[in-house]
Amino acid sequence: MYTANENRYKNMQYNRCGESGLKLPAVSLGLWHNFGDTGSFENMCEMIFTAFDNGVTHFDLANNYGPNPGSAETNFGKILKEHLFSYRDEMIISTKAGYFMWEGPYGDGGSRKYLISSLDQSLKRMGLDYVDIFYHHRMDKETPLYETMWALADAVKSGKALYAGLSNYDGKTMIEAAKILNELHCPFVINQNRYSILDRGLDKNKIFDAALDEKKGMIIFSPLAQGLLTDRYLKGIPEDSRVKTDGRFLKAEGITPQLVEKIARLNELAKKRGQTLAQMALAWVYNNDAVTSVLIGASKPEQILDCIKMLDNVCFTDEELKLIDDIAL
């Protein structure tokens, strides 16, 4: 039976989501990859234990995480039941709905029908009475924004979620959604978006400015650009890499000689800072005033430990920031 490290809160930083009372660890663990039916359950357990033993209290899921869709929630629920349920009140567990999950007109999008049904399914898979954060996973132009926000608010009012979140929203739509959720007296506290040294899309859609203006938190996914911002691809594509084992989101043809050269130059800067490239890339994202937490993925426990060490050096000089931009942009 697992027993948590008694010093687990000693070295982790915790930050409030905007002006809310909810705190998240600087590093959170996402179960997007490596927690589905194709993964090793023993390895899943070791990754969750390693994260929690080192102060990572937030575990992020979605209804469709797998493969197969739903299996990440099922496996996480099994880990909770067998090893971690006594620690439930020390954990922040989030899930989402918005992308395709089941056949027919009610298994995708932002309708009230889909969101409430999906949350019920997620709770059943994980064996939970509630999740801490329930996100709408993507904007849906086919559904009135009010309907989607109304569903999030009712999920909270029903006790099935404690807080509401938005994922993959742009700044303009997030502000509109925040206004509706405020009118519905729903505790909307956080946005989840993709961002990294190599992916600056959020700079264009103004979500950082909107989050600061609205006093909402931000958690960033893919801060390592699907593993590209590590030293793993400097000598070719590893056999156990996401390119080889999955290939849905990171493809071999995208890893060009020009990209590898950028990664190599960033790696040299990281060495000068006394960090791995992954640690520097995470610190760079975390250095943004709007960011509450960086959301990492992992395939082995050692990667989690390496990422947490980013907290040893999260400050950058102006010269370092300029050099990163010169290399990446």
Hey, how many other C-beta atoms are within 10 angstroms of the C-beta on 179? Answer: 13
CA distance 29 to 296: 5
Average pLDDT, the chain: 94
pLDDT, one tens digit per residue, over 41-82 is: 999 999 999 999 999 999 999 999 999 999 999 999 999 999
The model's confidence at residue 252, banded by pLDDT at 50, 70 and 90, is: low
Half-sphere exposure at residue 166, Cβ-oriented, CA atoms within 13 angstroms = 30
CA–CA dist 144, 129 (Å, integer): 28
Distances, alpha carbon 87 to alpha carbons 52, 84, 129, 304, 308, in Å: 10, 5, 15, 20, 21
Q: Which two tokens mark 133?
A: 């954060």
Instruction: Answer yes or no: is 2 within a domain.
Output: no
Q: For residue 286, is pLDDT > 90?
A: yes
Going by C-alpha positions, the residue among 244, 245, 253, 283 that lies closest to residue 266 is 283
Cα separation of 243 and 39, whole Å?
Answer: 16
Q: Which two tokens stand for residue 275?
A: 């960090």
> Residue 109 sits in which domain range?
14-328
Specify the pLDDT at position 87. 98
Residue 295, in any domain of the structure: yes
Percentage helix, strand, coil for the chain under 3-state DSSP, each rounded to 5: 45, 15, 40
Q: Give residue-wise pLDDT tens across range 190-218.
A: 999 999 999 999 999 999 999 999 999 99
Average pLDDT for 157-171 = 98
8 assigned to some structural domain: no
Residue bearing tokens 């559904």: 143
117: tokens are 């049904």
Buried b / exposed e over 279-307, threshold 16 CB at 10 Å, is: bbbbbbbbebebbbbbbbbbbebebbebb
pLDDT at 244: 47
In a domain, 223, yes or no: yes
Give a yes or no: residue 291 inside a domain: yes
Q: Per-residue pLDDT averaged across 124-146, rounded?
A: 98
145, part of any domain: yes
Query: Rounded mean pLDDT of 261-279?
Result: 96
| pTM for the structure as a whole | 0.94
- Residues 139-162 have pLDDT tens digits of 999 999 999 999 999 999 999 999
Question: For the chain, what is the total number of helices (H) and then of strands (E)?
Answer: 12, 10
Q: What is the CATH number for 128?
A: 3.20.20.100
> In this model, does residue 246 exceed pLDDT 60?
no
Q: Quick one: CA dihedral 137, 142, 145, 151, positive or negative?
A: negative
Residue 201 near residue 169, CB atoms below 8 Å: no
Residue 110 counted as domain residue = yes
Domains contained in the chain, number: 1
* Tokens 């650009």 sit on residue: 225
